């Protein structure tokens, strides 16, 4: 039998050790992240949970290259980090926020193409890819619509397509479904898992819904109240592809309970 490396044995895409972040404003200092350690492997879907204000968005901003860090180490893209194998956050990261943030005067297709335009990617190929992505997120036939003609859930799917247009290695999502109603949110969760399976990208998704964290994640990172420390990081071993009814299984309930216990919620 040939020796096939399991994904977990490969070098991680992200290697974070004792990461620390201090916000500074004139003479004031604010410790936002005190000690976060984790490995993220290519193809992982990490759900990141923690109390409000604990530093989740700060971590995503550090990973996206928007903020630096003040202590610990962060290597992205293999040993040597940003300089090692040429990981460039501008090209290699896609971002999705709580609001779709579509430009209201651009069509859905033109919105999806925005990062490609900014990065100066070849237009014809980018357009073909945009159509593929719109198909993938279930928006076939909506390319020429304006954002207001789409529902909130559809707009968010367009935002996910936009985050994937430049073929990033890493997709960071900051409470992407927080603004949606409960039913649309459940549908988006399923959609999201489908997109993850098809795109084979690495996702880090911040959510304040414990159920969503367990349902979506291949792994879950739980942070303490700020300044963030890693309370736990574990694999979520539930059957894939996930179906909504897994939420009624005892195993699902045990993961939910584990996170509640970590967060000190009775």
| Gap between the Cα atoms of 63 and 57, Å rounded | 10
Of ligand ADP, Mg ion, none, which one does residue 47 interact with (CB within 5 to 8 Å by kind)? none
Binding to Mg ion by residue 57, rule CB under 5 A?
yes
Indicate which of Mg ion, ligand ADP, none lies near residue 260 (CB less than 5 to 8 Å, by partner kind).
Answer: none
Tokens of 73: 């180490």
- Of the candidate spans 51-59, 145-153, 185-193, 227-235, the one that interacts with Mg ion by CB under 5 A turns out to be 51-59
Contact flag: residue 58 with Mg ion (CB under 5 A): no
Contact 220, 213 (CB under 8 A): yes
Radius of gyration of the chain (CA): 19
User: Per CB under 5 A, which region of 53-61, 233-241, 248-256, 258-266 contacts Mg ion?
Assistant: 53-61
Chain residues in the site for ligand ADP (CB under 6 A) = 23, 30, 32, 50, 52-58, 226
Size of the site for Mg ion (CB under 5 A): 1
- Minimum Å gap between C-beta 24 and ligand ADP is 8
State the burial class of residue 178 (Cβ atoms within 10 Å of its Cβ: 0-12, 13-18, 19+).
middle
- The least CB distance from residue 212 to Mg ion, in Å, is 15
**47 makes contact with Mg ion (CB under 5 A):** no
Q: Which C-beta is closer to ligand ADP: that of 52 or that of 83?
A: 52
**What dihedral do alpha carbons 179, 182, 188, 193 form, nearest 10°?**
120
Q: Which residues are CB-contacts of 187 (< 8 A; sequence separation ≥ 6)?
A: 153
Give, rounded to a whole angstrom, the gap between the first and last alpha carbons of the chain: 49
């Amino acid at each position: 039998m040939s020796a096939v490396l399991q994904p977990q044995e490969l070098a991680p895409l992200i290697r974070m050790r004792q990461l620390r972040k201090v916000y500074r404003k004139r003479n004031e200092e604010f410790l936002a992240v005190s000690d976060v350690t984790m490995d993220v492997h290519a193809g992982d879907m990490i759900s990141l949970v923690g109390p409000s204000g604990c530093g989740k968005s700060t971590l995503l901003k550090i990973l996206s290259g928007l903020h630096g860090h003040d202590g610990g180490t962060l290597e992205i893209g293999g040993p040597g980090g940003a300089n090692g194998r040429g990981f460039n956050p501008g090209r290699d990261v896609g971002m999705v926020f709580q609001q779709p943030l579509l430009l209201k005067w651009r069509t859905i297709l033109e919105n999806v193409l925005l990062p490609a335009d900014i990065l100066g990617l070849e237009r014809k190929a980018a357009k073909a890819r945009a159509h593929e992505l719109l198909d993938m997120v279930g928006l076939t036939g909506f390319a020429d619509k304006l954002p207001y003609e789409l529902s909130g859930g559809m707009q968010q799917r367009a935002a996910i397509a936009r985050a994937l247009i430049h073929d990033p290695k890493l997709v960071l999502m900051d409470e992407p479904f927080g603004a949606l109603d409960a039913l649309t949110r459940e549908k988006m969760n399923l959609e999201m898992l489908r997109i993850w399976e098809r795109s084979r990208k690495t996702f880090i998704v911040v959510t304040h819904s414990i159920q969503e964290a367990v349902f979506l994640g291949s792994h879950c990172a739980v942070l303490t109240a700020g300044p963030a420390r890693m309370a736990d990081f574990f694999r979520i071993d539930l059957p894939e592809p996930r179906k909504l009814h897994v939420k009624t299984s005892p195993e699902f309930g045990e993961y939910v309970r584990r996170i509640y216990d970590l967060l000190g919620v009775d």
